[in-house]
Amino acid sequence: MSNEAPRSAAKKQLPEHFKAYTGVWVYIELERGQVHSVSWELLGEGRKLADQLKVPLAAVVLGPPDGSARAAVADSFCYGADRAYLMESALLADYRNEPYTRAMTDLVNTHKPEVLLLGATTLGRDLAGSVATTLKTGLTADCTELAIDAERSLAATRPTFGGSLLCTIMTLNVRPQMATIRPRVMAMPQRVDAPVGEVVEVPFDMAEDTIITKVIDFIADSSRDKVQLAYADIVVAGGLGLGNADNLRHVRELARVLGGEWGCSRPLVQKGWAPADRQIGQTGKTIRPKLYIAAGISGAIQHRVGVEGADLILAINTDKAAPILDFAHYALIADAAVALPALTTAFARRLGPAVRLAG
């Protein structure tokens, strides 16, 4: 069913063989030579957990023997790792569930971490589910907050029931305690140059002919199509308060004038007003812009957890009692369909001739 089963008699009685498990691990997601930035965000968060537990923070790097994995190891030290476990093999060139699950479970069984964090990307979620099932351990998806409790267990908090409440989930009696965290939920740590950590190289002993699934092609998204919503400094988004799908153009137009990205709340995707890659919130994108303008969005928890990292939130809403006013910094009580075009015109005028309004 789900992670959210209530239970009462949940006491920590860690079996003896799990007591040797120590250290915090972060899986470094390396694909086609690039590390996904969520991995660095998790090293920042992992550093805090490791310091609190007084244990080392380790990066786990799986990849091909072309130098990219070694570069990722070096970068891991710059983002706070004390140690890196490195598995290099041509079989790990592209992500495939089978060899990656085998590599990760072998590493865990040999080197025994108490906490294992992965990014909640398509890769991280595909891998985490397989690894946790193989290890028969607990896995908490899409955490928004991690902490260490008084008994040194990981307390993983995530939205539940479609984002209407938060719940804190523990894996008390199995190790490692696994969690996935979505990109941009945790802050990017400061990069420190040139520290050196310990590299533990581990051989990978699978043979290609035992791996059934083959990658026969990779079609890269053209950068033009790729929505940079998660990384934009300015985001303008619309919700049901816009009234109709056509009014979304006011959202797009203001975003364009501000040089930002546009997004929407979940109901708009469900109604088919906007594509899924524009959705902001727990099941869509998490954003951390400098300025977030939420127009006609009421502010359900599942939306809130996706935008709380913004430096400044401006809500435009006709309803003074809307939940978004509980976490926005400023609010304009107005009809979004009226306020948005007025803002677009006013911004364009202030920013001068460099910005042209679309006909």
Partner 1 sequence: MHIVVCIKQVPDSAQIRVHPVTNTIMRQGVPTIINPYDLFSLEAALAIRDEHGGTVTVLSMGPPMAADSLRRALSIGADRAVLLTDRFFAGSDTLATSYALATAITKIASDQPVDMVFCGKQTIDGDTAQVGPGIARRLGFHQLTYVESVETIDRARRTVIVRRRAEGGVQVLRSELPCMVTMLEGSAVVRRGSMADALRAARADVTTWSAKDAGIEDISQCGLRGSPTVVRKVFAPQPRKEKAVLIEASAHDPVHMAEATIDTLFAALPGLNAELHAAAAR
Interaction residues for partner 1, span 178-207 (CB under 8 A):
none
Kindly write out the interface string for residues 230-269 of this chain, putting x where it contacts partner 1 by CB under 8 A and - elsewhere.
---x------------------------xx-------x--
Q: Do β-strands 34-35 and 234-238 pair in parallel, antiparallel, or remain unpaired? A: unpaired
Asked whether the beta carbons of 254 and 236 are under 8 A apart, the reply is yes
Q: Which of 56, 71, 74, 94 binds partner 1 (CB under 8 A)?
A: 94
Give me 235's structure tokens. 């985001």
Give me 204's structure tokens. 């990978």
Under rule CB under 8 A, residue 123 binds partner 1? yes
Indicate the residue among 93 and 200 with the shorter CB distance to partner 1: 93
Min separation Cβ 16 and partner 1, Å: 17
Q: Which stretch binds partner 1 (CB under 8 A): 46-54, 81-89, 191-199, 276-284?
A: 276-284
Q: Which stretch binds partner 1 (CB under 8 A): 39-47, 68-76, 185-193, 317-325?
A: 317-325
Under rule CB under 8 A, residue 140 binds partner 1? yes
User: Position of tokens 């305690």?
Assistant: 177
Alpha-carbon span 206 to 313, nearest angstrom? 50
Q: Which stretch binds partner 1 (CB under 8 A): 50-58, 62-70, 156-164, 199-207?
A: 156-164
Burial class (CB in 10 A: 0-12, 13-18, 19+), 324: buried
Under rule CB under 8 A, residue 133 binds partner 1? yes
Q: Which of 213, 243, 245, 246 binds partner 1 (CB under 8 A)?
A: 213
Alpha-carbon span 126 to 88, nearest angstrom? 20
Alpha-carbon span 53 to 50, nearest angstrom? 5
Report the candidate in 62, 113, 109, 70 with the shortest Cα–Cα distance to residue 90: 62
Q: Which stretch binds partner 1 (CB under 8 A): 49-57, 85-93, 110-118, 136-144?
A: 136-144
Under rule CB under 8 A, residue 104 binds partner 1? no
Q: Which of 160, 247, 265, 286 binds partner 1 (CB under 8 A)?
A: 160
Which amino acid, residue 196?
A: V
Min separation Cβ 77 and partner 1, Å: 23
Indicate the residue among 2 and 190 with the shorter CB distance to partner 1: 2
Min separation Cβ 50 and partner 1, Å: 22
Size of the site for partner 1 (CB under 8 A): 107
User: Position of tokens 């070096």?
Assistant: 74
Indicate the residue among 81 and 128 with the shorter CB distance to partner 1: 128
Q: Which of 193, 354, 358, 359 binds partner 1 (CB under 8 A)?
A: 354
Query: 312 to each of 18, 255, 308, how far by Cα in Å?
Result: 44, 15, 9
Min separation Cβ 292 and partner 1, Å: 11
Which amino acid, residue 304?
A: R
Q: Which of 10, 150, 194, 358 binds partner 1 (CB under 8 A)?
A: 10
User: Position of tokens 């985001």?
Assistant: 235
Report the candidate in 304, 289, 314, 311 with the shortest Cα–Cα distance to residue 229: 289
Number of Cβ atoms within 10 Å of the Cβ of 183: 22
Please give the DSSP secondary-structure letter assigned to residue 285. B
Sequence-separated (6 or more) residues with CB below 8 Å from residue 234: 255, 258, 259, 260, 261, 289, 290, 291, 292, 293
Min separation Cβ 199 and partner 1, Å: 25
